[in-house]
Structure 1
Amino acid sequence: MRLVVLGGGESGVGTAILGKKKGYDVFVSDFGKIKENYKEVLSINNISWEDEKHTEELILNADVVMKSPGIPEKSPIVKKLLEKNIPVISEIEFAAPFTTAKTIGITGSNGKTTTTLLTYHLLKQGGLNVGLAGNIGKSFAWQVAENKHDCYVLELSSFQLDGIINYKPDIAIITNISPDHLDRYNYDYNLYIDSKFRITMNQTEENYLIYDNDDEAISNWLANHQIKAKKVPFSITEKLEQGGSITENNEININLNEQNFIMPINQLALEGKHNVKNAMAATTVAQLMNIRKATIRESLSNFQGAEHRLEKVLKINNVQYINDSKATNVNATFFALDSMTTPTVWIVGGVDKGNDYDELMALVREKVKGIICLGVDNKKLVEKFEGLVDAMIETTSMTEAVKIASKMAEKGDTVLLSPACASFDLFENYEDRGRQFKQAVQNL
């Protein structure tokens, strides 16, 4: 069996290693450059590879192709594979049959990284032998090859879910759905929503789907489609018989199979309404996995959040600097602005993925005193927000953006990097953008 891997990054190299171990004839092809450390790993494992090109005769003879999530379906080589009816799958789909470990699959437009890390933290603190993979951490396939874990918490993007055929998580979570990556879905929001719900398409009556009952897109989809999995909703606005709700005393209450878990919201390590929901989702998993309540409580109160997600960097001259570089869509920035309690200087911009900024207007009027546009093309932002704030400045350098912000901000204010856009115009990725912000703040 010939396995061709498109993309020589973490998921690609992990898949190649697992494929090799399972007796496949493996070839890795990357249209960009493969990093030196990955080249070394491939060579040590006697796996042939190429980079900066796709050689068709070495690819189109595959029995199965694993495509990295970053490569769009529209790319010429993928189109040719699909024309030849060669299965093009994701790393998760390839690796899942080779493990008997339980998997918890987590998707959503926002909150999935925090929910994934929090779920992993709860299960690990509860003594389970658990791995962390998917869009985060070490490649799932690589970990399956090393056969180390009894269960995995997987952060799954819509692109990874597009590449599944038979994979089914034992427990699935959809944190929320809002327009994102519409450029990859022909600007059709319904296609993107369907993509997220692929997480439950193979689930059976023995599996669980945990979801945000307050989310309009999720509720509408579930009202119009049958699923087999047991539904476990959570809500911060209404009382639910089964699942997660908020009590009159401002506690989260997870009611599952006659078992109740209660904890005051003010004891959660994470702040903000959206994080109450993330905590409910993670806690539901922990309860289904029979983690002790005392352990869950302790873990929820000592959890350190995700880097680049509302990360407090420094307070300088009584101005708080916050790195929310991971906010690559409007909805994520909505959460960030919504959680601000002081006048805010907002650094925004980058590669726009078909953003609609209308839902931010009220929050910008209420919370934002100055806007710094950090992107190659800021026209849309300027047209939208000019006149709503006292000052609006454009820049293409993080150092300059932070310097201007420090001049705009007064004692008691917050400087928030929450770009609402992808980072590829000026940075390698959102992590690079976040690190440059933190460096620039430290250099003030």
Structure 2
Amino acid sequence: MTITYQRNEISVRPFNMKLETLKNKTTAIWGFGIEGKATLAYLLARCPNMEIAVLCGADEVPDEHTKGVSFITVPVSVEVLNQFEVVVKSPGISPYQAPAKQAKCQLISSAALWFDNEKSGQVIAITGTKGKSTTAAMLTAVLEAMDFKVVLAGNFGLPLIQCTGSFDYVVLETSSYQAYDGSIKADIGVLLNLYSEHLNWHLTEQQYHHDKWRLLRQSKRVLLNAADENSTKMLQIEPLRKRPDYYGNQHGFYELNGVLMYQDKALVSAYGWQLKGQHNLHNAAAVCAIVLMLGLDIKMAINAIKQFQPLPHRLQLVAESNGVKFINDSISSTPHSTFAAMGTVDPSRTILLVGGFDRGVDWQWWVEAIEVHPPKMIICSGENSKKIHQLVLNQQIKTQCIKQPNLKQAVEYAKDQAKPGDTVLLSPGAPSFDAFDDYQQRGQKFSQWIQQ
């Protein structure tokens, strides 16, 4: 059976991912990062006599070769891909661009292998443009506090293909890259919000929203944010077969004036837990709604949520020196997350560091949104710094907006300009790939430069 989507003329062909079928196919792994390495280890363990090719860069080839594994380091082309019947593609490789779009081989994900061969317990898959890492980690902490055997996997946590044990729950933090092909078949699919993101991968905002939505279409039960307009629009455009559950309104869990509520009952105030920001109370509301869907003890959940600690690189206070606070929010990869971070500080005393890899997202709305309460200073660096800097200047916002060649120089300039009572906030609103391996390295470098 072939299901064809007109948006980018990509076909998603359901395929039997049972290992008995796969080991008789000529197979390659495309991409040799964390997930690619995990996939290779999995296939070698489960199919020890299987011959596997790895398509990667020459600098990624290990010194010691495993029997039956060959490494192909030439540039990946349609011809290279079509040597194989099945190619296990890393999530970062877009299927909407050459050579993947033209290839005739079957492109699959390691998630497809896991669901057809290893699925254990109930899978709760959480996606959204922002908040999914914190929500997934918070839910994991709640379930662990209830003495369930839980694993946090996916885009944040262990690669799913490594989760080969027996679990009560698998909490799967799911990116649009992982959801697009429909291979994730969750017991509960959760969509926190929909904005514009990853346009370099999905090509259009419509395709990005559609690919996120694929997760819900494949889930047994669905949880939506009633306060998210784009989710409501998608439900009208692509109705689901099952009726969704909701959070974010007064019929369930929601945030009101800095308080987590359930209907008319106050549960947690902004001062009653470890996290900052109204957006994190929205994340807590989603966690509580999932607990309710699972039929578990909500009082135990609230107690665990109150103890939950901020994750590294997420509004993390890394230093306080001479009356100046330095906050690392390197996980911020969208303008929406940067705007949410601004809600946790006094803008008039905040020096904001923004910019990074340009994924083609719209910053104009952000510039307009901060105009009423702008930060004391905006320092732009990274690949999209020129664009952000120009938008701020065009808007004639009453703030200083400075452009620096790189993040290190931006940090040094911020340190020089900060006065006692100020906050230096790294909340880039963009990925790190233009200058760093990932957001963790960017956050670590920020902390290192601050300590210096």
* TM-score normalised per structure 1: 0.86
State yes or no: 1:197 paired with 2:197: no
Equivalent residue for 2:359? 353
Residue 306 of structure 1: how far off its partner (Å): 2.0
Give distance in 1, aligned partners of 2:445 and 2:89.
30
How far 1:442 sits from its partner (Å)?
A: 1.1
Does residue 172 (structure 1) correspond to residue 194 (structure 2)? The answer is no
Runs of at least 5 residues in structure 1 that lack an aligned partner in the other structure: none
Map 1:89-100 → 2, pairs under 5 A: 89-98=108-117, 99-100=119-120
* Paired position in structure 1 for 2:13: none
Cα pair 1:16 1:47 within 8 Å, conserved: no
The reply to whether residue 224 of structure 1 matches residue 237 of structure 2 is yes
User: What whole-Å deviation, never above 9, does each CA across 1:165-208 have from its counterpart, x for those lacking one?
Assistant: 4x31001111111000112222x2211111111011123xxx32
Q: 2: CA distance between counterparts of 1:71 and 1:33?
A: 18
After superposition, where does 1:234-383 map in structure 2 within 5 Å? 234-235=247-248, 238-240=249-251, 243-246=252-255, 250-253=259-262, 262-342=267-347, 343-361=349-367, 362-376=369-383, 378-383=385-390
Q: 1:11 aligns with which of 29, 35, 38?
A: 35
Equivalent residues of 1:104, 1:171 under 8 A apart = yes
Displacement of 1:297: 1.9
For residues 31 and 362 of structure 2, the distance between their equivalents in structure 1, rounded to whole angstroms, comes to: 31
Change (3 A) 1:344 1:49: farther
CA RMSD of superposed structures (Å): 2.7
Residue 432 of structure 1, aligned match among 441, 444, 447: 441
SS of 1:220's equivalent in the other structure is: helix
Deviation readout 1:43-77 (Å, 9 max, x if unpaired) = 56x45141533577775343432110111225544
Give the Å deviation of 1:223: 2.6
1:162 to 180, 183, 195: 180
The alignment of Structure 1 onto Structure 2 pairs a total of residues equal to 421
Contact conserved, 1:398 with 1:440, CA < 8 A, in 2? no
Spell out, residue by residue over 1:411-435, the C-alpha distance to the aligned partner (whole angstroms, 9 max, x if none): 2121111112222222222221111
Partner of 1:113: 133
Q: CA deviation at 1:247?
A: 6.9
The offset of 1:93, in angstroms, is: 1.8
Partner of 1:388: 397
Q: 1:253 to 1:414 in 2, by over 3 A?
A: same
Identity %: 27
Amino acid at match of 1:92: A
| Structure 1 residue 397: Cα displacement | 3.5
Instruction: Render the CA deviation track for 1:357-410: whole Å, top value 9, x for unaligned.
Output: 222233255131111111245321221113424433222333322221122222
Structure 2 CA distance for aligned equivalents of residues 214 and 377 of structure 1: 30
Counterpart of 2:179, as a letter, is L
Paired residue for 2:420, among 391, 411, 415? Answer: 411
Alignment counterpart, residue 94 of structure 2, candidates 66, 72, 80: 72
CA pair 113-34 structure 1, distance change in 2 beyond 3 A: farther
Larger CA deviation: 23-32 vs 376-385: 23-32
Instruction: Show structure 2 runs of 5+ residues with no match.
Output: 1-23
In the TM superposition, residue 324 of structure 1 has moved relative to its aligned partner by 1.2
**8 A contact 2:38–2:159 mirrored in 1:** yes
Name the amino acid aligned to 2:173.
Answer: E
Greater mean alpha carbon deviation, residues 122-131 or residues 369-378: 369-378
